[in-house]
Amino acid sequence: MTAHPAPRTCIVSAVRPARDVRTFHKIARSLAAAGWDVTVVGRDPGPPAIVGGVRIAPLPAARGAARIALQPLALRAALASRADVVMIADLELLPAGILLSRAGRAVVYDCREDYPAYMRLKPWIPPRCRGAASRLVDRLERIAARRLDGILTADEGTAQRLRAYGGHVVVVHNFPRRADFAFAPPETSRPVDVVYHGSLPAYNLLALADVAGALGRRLRRARWRIVGAPDSLAARFAFTDALAAGGVADRVELRPPVPFEGVAELLRGARTGVVPLPDLPKFRTNVPMKLFEYLAAGVPAVASDLPPTRALLDGTDAAVLVPPGDREAFADALARLLRDPAAALAQARRGRDAIETRFNWEREEPRLRHLYASVFCGPGLRAVREEMLA
């Protein structure tokens, strides 16, 4: 291959940490390994740095409405990177992405959520305004789909909606890297019986409390570790009250989020994992990343039987799926795995086998690289693009 300067990309967010799991550990690392000069703009406590071949341009920490002030800083950092391709990693930056595209920049949008459905769950949006917010976001993505060079999604349902709007859409599932999670048998000596890690809006917290109470009636000493940040004080208090009502307050530990590097160790300490998502429009489209991390780590998992998860797992028997919202079914499934170590080990092995053969980031990378190569443009860079696509 003829020697050319490395093509440049900047992945920009004013909301997410620069070392976000999908943005940094998956997309940025994969592009850097493929020969791109990668800059990630996002919130980070340290100075500018190069980590794993990826340049980090840090933004200061901010909460709530204060994050709006980070948007101009994020965009200035993206422009300063002189990127050949800019990836917009926030819904909030999508209008700026459309303007960059109209100005001749190659722009990719990482649409990792069903955002119109998500607007109907946001606690900071008054309930009477959520429908209007959902329609507004849908309209914005409809405009973006026709004008941006490419869109990534993490699930097929979101991809179908954006393709219908005319977008060049590629599905890159948020599956784990195999090397990031070593398989370990779910031994009975592990200190935690049930683990959950991830986002903790009120509906997740209350579902977890309900399942913990139901499991406590079957296995009195079942120990829980829930790792994440409740999205409000009201949600935290409601969770505490629900645990007390279920008689399990002394057996459920709530811990703050751990960095990505600590997730594998967290999971190695648990005998089972749970994903009790409710049957809401967002979850009839989006796929829960944490489920596949459980499978990668050898943690037998019980999850809500929702359409995207069911479609992906079809034929694998990689996890136990139960009706969403049915705390008794969740508790029964968890109790069976905890009472029968042989069944738990067989379940864990099926889960890891599915990761090895189907649900891993290594299988997703080629689609990411091809999308980037297909939108790569700029003066004097046509030969590089053609070689990348060859």
Q: How far is CA 3 from its chain centroid?
A: 36
Query: Binning pLDDT at 50, 70 and 90, where does residue 3 land?
Result: low
pLDDT digits (tens, 9 = 90+) for 204-222: 999 999 999 999 999 999 9
| Token pair 């994020």 in the structure block, residue | 74
The values of phi and psi at residue 316, to 5°, are: -100, -30
Query: Residue 212's pLDDT is what?
Result: 98
What's the mean pLDDT in 355-382? 84
Portion of the chain with pLDDT greater than 90, in percent: 84
> HSE of 332 in the Cβ direction (CA atoms, 13 Å)?
7
- Write out pLDDT tens, residues 292-325: 999 999 999 999 999 999 999 999 999 999 999 9
pLDDT of residue 61: 78
State the burial class of residue 183 (Cβ atoms within 10 Å of its Cβ: 0-12, 13-18, 19+). middle
Q: How many beta carbons lie within 10 A of that of residue 111, not counting itself?
A: 26
Q: Is 43 helix (H, G, I), strand (E, B) or coil?
A: strand
Q: Return phi, psi of residue 187, to 5°.
A: -70, 155
Q: Mean pLDDT throughout 164-178?
A: 97
Token pair recorded at residue 58: 């840090």
Cβ neighbours of 285 (radius 10 Å): 24
Question: 263 vs 21, 27, 198, CA distance in Å?
Answer: 11, 18, 10
Inter-helix orientation angle 202-216/233-246, to 10°: 10
Residue 287 φ/ψ region, left for φ over 0, alpha for ψ in the -120 to 50 degree band, beta for the rest = beta
CA distances from 250 to 189, 219, 267 (A): 20, 14, 21
**What residue has token string 């994050």?**
67
Residue 162 has a pLDDT of: 98
- C-beta of residue 178 within 8 angstroms of C-beta of residue 210: no
Instruction: Say whether pLDDT at 116 is over 80.
Output: yes
Q: In order of start, what are the domains of the chain with their CATH numbers? A: 8-175+361-389 (3.40.50.2000), 178-357 (3.40.50.2000)
What are the pLDDT digits (tens) for 58-111?
998 776 666 777 888 888 888 888 999 999 999 999 999 999 998 888 999 999
CA gap 89, 120 in Å, rounded: 20
Rounding to the nearest 10 degrees, give the CA dihedral for residues 84, 90, 95, 97.
Answer: 10
Of the pLDDT bands very low, low, confident and very high (cuts 50, 70, 90), residue 2 is low
Can you state the percent helix, strand and coil of the chain, rounding each to 5?
Answer: 50, 20, 35
Arithmetic mean of pLDDT, 125-153:
96
**Residues 38 and 54 sit within 8 Å (Cβ to Cβ):** yes
| H and E: helices and strands count for the chain | 15, 14
* pLDDT at res. 65: 62
Q: How far apart are CA 185 and CA 106, in angstroms?
A: 46
Structure tokens at 77: 């950092």
Q: What average pLDDT does the segment 351-371 reach?
A: 97
Q: Where are the alpha helices (DSSP H) in 113-175?
A: 115-119, 130-147, 156-164
pTM for the complete prediction?
A: 0.92
